[in-house]
Amino acid sequence: MGGGRPAQHGPCAGAGCGLLRQAGEVVVRAALLATLLAGPALAQGADRDCADFPDWESAQRFYLQNGGLARDPHRLDRDRDGIACVSLPGAPRR
């Protein structure tokens, strides 16, 4: 009961506890930032195929929002001409 240091509770004890907690917060924030910067494709979840869209306009919009020609993570533009899912209704004629 006498003077001295206050009792420490939990797994973190000592002077480094605050730094350890701050480091953990930084790691969580960095992971969140990396997820946000990874782009919409990561946020979209599962892989999408042309059959997942009702028409070409929907597929093209999704394709462009996920990087378009520069980055086509769902492989919606097989011939890399900038036009996704040419087999869907409403696709431009070649």
Is residue 27 located within the same domain as residue 38?
yes
Position 1 in a domain: no
Q: What confidence score (pLDDT) does residue 42 get? A: 47
**Residue 55 sits in which domain range?**
46-94
In angstroms, the Cα distances linking 14 to 1, 17, 21, 23, 62 are 18, 6, 12, 15, 52
The segments of the chain whose pLDDT lies below 70 read 1-17, 19-21, 23-24, 26-45, 94
Q: What confidence score (pLDDT) does residue 62 get? A: 95
Is residue 36 located within the same domain as residue 54?
no
Position 79 in a domain: yes
76-93, pLDDT tens digit by residue? 999 999 999 999 999 998
Is residue 63 located within the same domain as residue 24?
no
Q: What confidence score (pLDDT) does residue 63 get? A: 95
Q: What is the number of other CB atoms lying within 10 angstroms of the CB of residue 39? A: 14
Provide the domain count of the chain: 2
Is residue 72 located within the same domain as residue 32?
no
Instruction: State the distance between the two ends of the chain, measured CA to CA, in whole angstroms.
Output: 86
User: Could you tell me which residues come within 8 angstroms of residue 62 by beta carbon, excluding any fewer than 6 positions away?
Assistant: 44, 48, 53, 74, 76, 84
Is residue 50 located within the same domain as residue 94?
yes
Position 30 in a domain: yes
